[in-house]
Structure 1
């Protein structure tokens, strides 16, 4: 039975609802400082994942080529467009989010999409549960998401809860396909995948903290490229 993705999705949705309902009642210092802490945590997790790298060259190639593909298909622009429509629809049914511009909202939405739906912990946790039946990693992530979501939902409103849809789709597919994927992946490929995901999480942290607006959604195609490139590198040049 698929436990982890359901628990994680429930925690994210519950945290989003709590944050949206509390809204201005949350302490201003918490609303200002905790996103910086979450961004810093994302950067820390990213660095831990990066040092696992086996072959750096295919990782760099995947990041560059993947980002070019993302830019060409305007992946991030598409996500932002959908996020804007979702915000408009939800705010017609609920109290509009205050104190946040449309530009800031879209920037944060894309960063949170990666943080909640495409993070290394979510990916590895889903694959691990699919192979072993152990949902521990995703339950830990659910705890983190439950406390992270309210802070952002307090300013962004119920729209943060929309992220539960891509989250459970990604985690569910990985869970269901883990038994097919894992036998095809070598430890070196997994290490390079970890490094690639770590670079994206590092960029996510910079974006959440407002340091630099990396095109993190456009970087996501790199996750599809890095393992085949790593395998090819190991076969021909490793």
Structure 2
């Protein structure tokens, strides 16, 4: 049973509801300071994942080529359109008081990527499906709940709707885990988590508004890093050594 996935999605939903209710009562200073702390937590998770990296050239190449692919197919814009589509649907049920400005779009894309496409969430879903260990997803829930609360101050109830694609994606990985996990070596998994760690650090910078990294466009790197890791270990390393 996908307990970790269910709890993680519920954490986003509950955090979104709480944030929508108490968001107007929170001071700007409180929200900004808490957002900085959450950004630091996201970056800490990313740094801890990067330390697991086995093959730096593989991770770097995957991120560069993956981002090029994402920028070429305009994945960031597609993600933004998907997010705004969800916003239109939910706004028909619950009107959103916040203006749909550039800040709104940036926060929406950041939330979608952080909740749905983090290396921790993807790896946690695969691990849960293969071994029944839900600890990774449960740890992610703590961060997602607090982050959803802050995001809901801007996105309001739309934050809760992000749990829908999150649940679908994580459940697909959970169900396919039996076929994926046996094909993955420890090295491939470590490089995969390191790649996700880079995305988490970029997300942290984006959350604290230091730099708007194209994190949605960087998502294809997550699909490239495992095959590249296998090819590197199987063919490149034996050749150069």
TM, length-normalised to structure 1: 0.93
Alignment RMSD (CA, Å): 1.6
CA distance in 2, matches of 1:84, 1:126: 26
Q: What is aligned with 1:19?
A: 19
Which residue is equivalent to 1:158?
Answer: 157
Partner of 1:37: 37
| Counterpart position of 2:234 | 235
Aligned to 1:80: 80
Aligned position for 2:199: 200
Q: 1:89 to 1:131 in 2, by over 3 A?
A: closer
Q: For residue 12 of structure 1, report the CA deviation from its aligned partner.
A: 0.9
Change (3 A) 1:22 1:95: farther
The correspondence of residues 125-140 of structure 1 with structure 2, limited to 5 A, is 125-140=124-139
Partner of 1:71: 71
How far apart in 2 are the matches of 1:175 and 1:75? Answer: 24
Give the length in aligned residue pairs. Answer: 237
Q: CA deviation at 1:168?
A: 0.8
Question: Aligned partners of 1:137 and 1:34: how far apart in 2?
Answer: 23
CA contact (8 A) 2:16 2:149 kept: yes
Residue 143 of structure 1 corresponds to 142
In structure 2, C-alpha distance between the alignment counterparts of 1:187 and 1:136, rounded to whole Å: 18
* 1:21-48 residue CA offsets vs partner (Å, 9 max, x unmatched): 2231124332121111111111121111
In the alignment, what sits opposite 2:210? 211
Judge which range, 170-179 or 136-145, deviates more: 136-145
| Residues 188-216 of structure 1, C-alpha deviations (whole Å, 9 max, x = no match) | 11111111111111111111110111100
- CA shift, 1:134, in A, is 2.5
Report the Cα distance in structure 2 between the residues aligned to 1:59 and 1:137, rounded to whole angstroms: 22
Correspondence 1:8 to 2:8: yes
The gaps in structure 2 that reach 5 residues or longer are none
